[in-house]
């Protein structure tokens, strides 16, 4: 399984992904913060030494030449992007047909200085469809001190997706 964590930061969700994928997993981790990526690599190699980690000091809103992916996770990163559709198109085009896109986001459509452009699940469902994903489902929702709640959602790349 080959996955990418876009906007991975220090890697809380990268570590969770490594745990789920197991020792055969390959993770492509993208973040602009080289220090956060160093912290992430140390934690991942200590906890999951069999996982292959490729890191990119890059802005995930631009093409970085990722290989064909089985999945993408964007956890607390999409809310920093105002114009989300081009980013989602890049992600979808890097994924194999049938690929899984996991979003973790605040359940709000109005942001603040720290979370400028959140999107509620209702908004995500419409945006995911516009971006070419299908079968969007909410997976979990938990209360949050910030913006009320946070949710996770799964969307799929159609098996017959053009450009995949």
pLDDT digits (tens, 9 = 90+) for 2-52: 999 999 999 999 999 999 999 889 999 999 999 999 999 999 999 999 999
DSSP state of 34: H
Identify the CA nearest to 152 among candidates 92, 86, 106, 95: 106
* pLDDT confidence tier of residue 132, bands split at 50, 70 and 90: very high
DSSP state of 136: E
CA distance 95 to 134: 13
So where are the chain's domains? 2-156
Angle formed by the axes of helices 121-130 and 84-93, nearest 10°:
60
CA distance 91 to 114: 24
pLDDT at 163: 52
Residues 79, 119 contacting (CB under 8 angstroms) = yes
* pLDDT confidence tier of residue 145, bands split at 50, 70 and 90: confident
pLDDT at residue 54 tops 60: yes
pLDDT at 164: 47
2-156 CATH fold: Rossmann fold (3.40.50)
- Vertex 25 angle, CA 37 and 153, to 5°: 80
């Amino acid at each position: 399984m080959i996955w990418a964590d876009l906007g991975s930061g220090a890697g809380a969700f990268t570590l969770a992904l490594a745990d789920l994928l197991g020792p055969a997993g390959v993770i492509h981790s993208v973040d602009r913060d080289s220090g956060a990526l160093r912290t992430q690599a140390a934690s991942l190699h200590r906890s999951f030494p069999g996982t292959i980690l490729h890191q990119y000091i890059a802005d995930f809103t631009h093409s970085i030449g990722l290989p064909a992916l089985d999945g993408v996770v964007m956890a607390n990163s999409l809310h920093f992007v105002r114009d989300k559709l081009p980013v989602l198109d890049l992600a979808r085009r890097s994924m194999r047909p049938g690929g899984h896109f996991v979003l973790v986001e605040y359940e709000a459509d109005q942001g603040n200085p720290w979370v400028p452009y959140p999107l509620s699940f209702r908004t995500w469902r419409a945006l995911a469809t516009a971006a070419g994903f299908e079968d969007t489902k909410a997976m979990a929702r938990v209360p949050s001190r910030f913006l009320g709640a946070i949710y996770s959602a799964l969307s799929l790349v159609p098996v017959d997706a053009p450009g995949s």
